Structure 1
Amino acid sequence: MKSGLGLVALLMLWCGVALADSAPVLGYRVVASYPHDSSAFTQGLIFIDGTLYESTGNYGRSTLRRVDLETGRVEQDIRLAPNLFGEGLTDWRGRLVQLTWRERLGIIYDAKTFERLETFSYTGEGWGLTQDGQHWIMSDGTDELRFLDPETRNVVRRVKVRAGKRPVHRLNELEYINGAIWANVWRSDHLVQIAPDSGQVTAVVDLTTLYPSSERVGPEAVMNGIAHDAATGRLFVTGKHWPRLYEIVIE
C-alpha cells in the first residue's frame, strides 16, 4: 500500500487492477469537449433525438434538465421535492423515467414538457437506469442488475455482474449500447461493458486520465455519466461536478 493514497484513490486502484485481471482493457481517445455545469451532481445522462438530458442529485438540489450540448446551457429544468435525491435516467416511448436514491420512487415525465405524469415504487435503492427496448435495466449500488417490465414495473429478471469470478459492486450509471450494458463503477473512473444475459464483464475502459483528480473539487467529483447517440454512434461521458463533458471513441 502506497503512503499518501486516500481511500478513494485506493478504491480506484484496487478496482482497476481487479477488473483488468479479468477482462480486456480498451483504449480511448477524446474527439471533442463541451462545457458542463460544474454545479451538477450528475446521476443520469442520456442523448435522445439530438437532445441531451441529465438527472442531478443531492437533497434540495436534484433536477431533471434538458441541456444544450454545445454550450452546456440548461434549456429547461424541473426541480425535485427537497426530500428526493435524483438518480438514474432513461427514455421510454416519448417519456423520461427518473429514479430516486433511497426514496424507492420512480418518476415518469413527458419528455417535451417535463410534466410529471405518474410515479412507481421499487424495493431497495435506485442508482442507474437504462433500457434495451424491452426492459428497464436498473442498478442499486450492488453487483446486481434488475430487469423491469415497463408496463407493470415488476422485476422479471436479475443478473449478477462478475469480472471473471469476482463480483463487481457499486454499479452506478448505465447505458445500453449495441446489445451490451455499459456501467460506471462508483468511486472509480472505469467503465465496464457487461453481457446482459450472463452478467459477465467483457471489457473495461480506464478513464482515470480523462479529467485529472488534482483538478477535481473533492472526493465526490467522480466520473458518472454515459450517454450514447444511437443515430450517430457518438459516446459522451462526464462526472459529478465536472466542468467538461467529453465525446470519446473507444478503441
Structure 2
Amino acid sequence: MMKKVLFAAIVILTALAACNDHTDAGTNNTGETNNNANAAPPVIQYAVVNKYPHDTAYFTEGLEFHNGQLFESSGGNADESPYPSELGIADLKTGKVTSKVKLDKTKYFGEGITFFGDKLYHLTWTSGTGFVYDANTFKLIKEFKIPAKEGWGLTHDSTHLIMSDGSSNLYYLTPDSLKIANILRVTDNNGPITNINELEYVNGFIYANQWETNYILKIDPGTGSVVGKINLENLQKEAASLRPGADVLNGIAYNKETNQFLVTGKRWPFLYEIKVQ
C-alpha cells in the first residue's frame, strides 16, 4: 500500500513540475519579443493568376505598390556586380524599370524600399546609410544612419517603418527620427528564424522572404511567431529553367486593388501574380 501512495505522489509532483516548465511569449530584457511555439507553421496554398515580364537586369531588393504603380529597387556595386543600384517604376507590360533614383555604386548597394506618408525610404546594404525622398518628386530630403549593422528589407504598418537586417530581428523605426522603437524577434517551432529579407505588411501581418530559401513567411507582429509559410519552389524552378543565372526568390508587393500579391526574384524573367489562400 505504501508503494502505491508513494508512486501516486511522484506522479502528481511530476505533473505539477511539467505544468510549470514553460516559457510565455513576451519581451525580454533586450527589448526583443520571444515566442516558443510547438507546432510547425502550416503551409499556405496559393495559385498563379498572372505572369508579367520582369527586368532580368534587376537584382531585386525591394518591391512595393504605391498609388497604383509598382516600384522596384535593385542592388549592385562597382567592383563585383553589373546590376544597377537604383529604384524606379516597373512597367508590367514590358518589365522595364523607369529609374527615379540612382545611387553611386562605388558607395552604395541599394536595398529595401517603402512609402510612408509623403516620403519614400530607401535602405543600403553595408554602408550604414539610408535615404529619404519626396514621394512625388523623388528629390532627396535627407540621409540617415541605419540603426543596424546592415540594411535589408523595409515595409511599414500604420505608425512605424519595419526593417530587416538579415538576422531574426525586425526593427520598428519611428518615421521621423528613424530611431529604433522596438525589436521583434521572429521565431517558429524550432526557435529564431534567420535571413529575414524583403518585407510587406498586409492586413495585420508581416510577409517576409527568407533569403536563400523558397519561402515567404507570414509573421504575427504581436508575437513574432511565423504563423504560415508559402512555398514558391515551383516558381523558382521555372525561373531558373527559363533564365540561367536567375537567383534567389526576393520581392513581395501587395496590390490592394486586386487583393493579390506580386512576387519575383533576383534576375527572374517573370513577376508572378499570386492569389494566397
TM-score, scaled to structure 1: 0.88
Amino acid at match of 1:175: E
Q: Does 2:161 align with 1:136?
A: yes
Partner of 1:81: 104
Once the two structures are overlaid, the 10-residue window that deviates more, 70-79 or 185-194, is 70-79
Amino acid at match of 2:259: G
Amino acid at match of 1:112: N
Partner of 2:52: 34
CA distance in 2, matches of 1:71, 1:104: 34
Partner of 1:119: 143
Structure (1 or 2) with the larger CA radius of gyration: 2
Amino acid at match of 1:119: E
Given candidates 33, 52, 59, the residue that maps to 2:77 is 59
Q: What is the CA deviation profile of residues 48-78 of structure 1, one whole-angstrom value per residue up to 9, with x for unaligned ones? A: 1110101100114200111122321323332
Shift of 1:106: 0.9
CA distance in 1, matches of 2:157, 2:190: 25
Counting aligned pairs with the same residue, the percent is: 42
Q: What is the CA deviation profile of residues 133-187 of structure 1, one whole-angstrom value per residue up to 9, with x for unaligned ones? A: 1000000000010101111111010011001242110000000000000000001
Partner of 2:115: 91
Shift of 1:216: 4.6
Unaligned 5+ runs, structure 2: 1-38, 79-83
Q: Does 2:219 align with 1:194?
A: yes
Given candidates 44, 57, 72, the residue that maps to 2:95 is 72
CA contact (8 A) 2:56 2:269 kept: yes
CA contact (8 A) 1:51 1:69 kept: no
CA contact (8 A) 1:217 1:241 kept: no
Shift of 1:197: 1.4
CA contact (8 A) 2:47 2:274 kept: yes
Quickly say closer, same or farther: Cα 1:214–1:166, change in 2 above 3 A.
farther
SS in 1 for 2:234: coil
CA contact (8 A) 1:99 1:126 kept: yes
Partner of 1:223: 249
Amino acid at match of 1:142: S
CA contact (8 A) 1:65 1:74 kept: yes
Unaligned 5+ runs, structure 1: 1-20
Instruction: Kindly tell me the number of residue pairs found equivalent between the two proteins.
Output: 231
Amino acid at match of 1:75: T
Q: What is the CA deviation profile of residues 191-220 of structure 1, one whole-angstrom value per residue up to 9, with x for unaligned ones? A: 0000111100000000000131444533x7
Structure 1's consecutive aligned runs of 4 or more residues displaced over 4 angstroms after TM superposition are none
TM-score, scaled to structure 2: 0.80
